[in-house]
Structure 1
Amino acid sequence: MMIKIATLATAALFAAPAAFAATYKTDQGHTEVQFSWSHAGVSVQSGEFTEASGTLDLDPENPEAASLSVTINTKSLSTGFGPLDNHLSSADFLEVETYPEITFVSTGIEKTGDTTAKVTGDLTIHGTTQSVVLDTTMTHIGPHPLGGAIEYYQGDWAAFSASTTIDHQSFGVGGFSTGPITIRISTEMKAQ
């Protein structure tokens, strides 16, 4: 249930209309890191991390050389049910007091289409680092559609969605398997 990650990475990947390299930073108000899992095969439960920050360095002329770094605050975990939040945050699972961050650092990007790519990177959860692959789709790059009306949105933006699955036990999280954890990310990032 941790993850999130990564997430964010993806924007990096696709060729874009801009003609220069830029550094993009996540917009917290338009970034979601969600995760879901099967509860003993009986139901599907979900949650999210509400605090995530990331930096993407992207040269539209060479998107496969982009780099992404993301940090997620594990204490921002929210399922909408306090007792479950407390349990997932405890030593039984994420141990958020000991491991306050989840990180993702990209190691490679492979374009798979005009707006899609596989972003490989090192995901660190609970002190354990493993390589994961995000299936990503670039949903926007360039001036924000709201930039002409709202000053905050002026400038260049990149946006993408991404998903992956992980085995939480391989990161030392949880005493038994619930099956794969599905992670979904959606973010807007503003050029600095």
Structure 2
Amino acid sequence: MNRPLSFALAAALAAFTAPAFAEAVKYNVDPGHSQIVFSYNHLGFSTNYGMFSGFEGVVNFDADAPADSSVEVSFPVSTLITGFQARYDHFMTADFFNAEVNKDVTFKSTSIEVTGEKTAKITGDLTLNGVTKAVVLDTVLNQAGEHPMEKKPWIGLTATTTLIRSEFGLGMVAPFVSDEVPVTINLEAGKAD
């Protein structure tokens, strides 16, 4: 089972404001409330959107030394939602994600730079379409505290970055369809039982 990254969870690591723990505490990503949304310009006529879900991931958060925390997340390429079946089918082919070969997208943090009370830059290795590159996620800790229904510690964060799709072997028809792809990640994670 893949348990690599997930863009963003580490933000909580960097800015978590709950009571300090003696050692790192494990948080599991909540797949039902975690998503990645991306957009791209289509030939200058429109902006199209896609979304990924189905995350697995772990945050090991050290409140005493947030920069020493870690985060790993993965999700299947097949969870992509485009809103149009023919576009989805094309994206799964070797023209783009080659989903039969490169089934998962993974992210593993390599460093965390605290930039404010609730902000951080999380650097990590993103593996997409069989290509691994370092990316930086501008991350905001939305909230940290007890989940009102789960009754245990919970974190939520939002991260943004811009990917150059051709760097990941996804550059078909660039630059007519934009090569720069803005990405927004929203993640929730709950303390592991």
TM-score after normalising by structure 2? 0.90
Following the alignment from structure 1 to structure 2, what is the Cα–Cα distance between the partners of residues 36 and 85? Answer: 14
Aligned-residue CA RMSD in angstroms? 1.5
Matched, 1:115 2:118: yes
Following the alignment from structure 1 to structure 2, what is the Cα–Cα distance between the partners of residues 6 and 35? Answer: 13
> Conserved in 2, the CA contact under 8 Å of 1:102 and 1:125?
yes
Equivalent position of 1:11 in the other structure: 12
In the alignment, residue 75 of structure 1 is paired with which amino acid? Answer: S
Match of 1:171 among 168, 171, 185: 168
Structure 1 runs of 4+ aligned residues shifted over 3 Å read none
> Conserved in 2, the CA contact under 8 Å of 1:15 and 1:62?
no
Following the alignment from structure 1 to structure 2, what is the Cα–Cα distance between the partners of residues 180 and 100? Answer: 23
Equivalent position of 2:155 in the other structure: 158
Deviates more, 1:54-63 or 1:9-18: 9-18
Matched, 1:127 2:130: yes
1:9-49 C-alpha deviation (Å, 9 max, x unpaired)? 43222142222131111111111111111112221111111
Following the alignment from structure 1 to structure 2, what is the Cα–Cα distance between the partners of residues 126 and 41? Answer: 26
Shift of the 7–92 alpha-carbon distance from structure 1 to 2, 3 Å rule, reads farther
Deviation at 1:50, TM superposition (A): 2.2
Match of 1:48 among 40, 45, 51: 51
How many residues are aligned here?
A: 183
> Conserved in 1, the CA contact under 8 Å of 2:73 and 2:107?
yes
Deviates more, 1:41-50 or 1:67-76: 41-50
Following the alignment from structure 1 to structure 2, what is the Cα–Cα distance between the partners of residues 13 and 111? Answer: 6
Match of 2:97 among 83, 94, 98: 94
In the alignment, residue 103 of structure 1 is paired with which amino acid? Answer: T
Matched, 1:37 2:34: no
Equivalent position of 1:58 in the other structure: 61
Match of 1:68 among 68, 71, 80: 71
Give the gaps of 5 or more residues in structure 2: none
Secondary structure in structure 2 of the residue aligned to 1:29: helix
TM-score after normalising by structure 1? 0.90
Percentage of identical aligned residues? 36
> Conserved in 2, the CA contact under 8 Å of 1:158 and 1:188?
yes
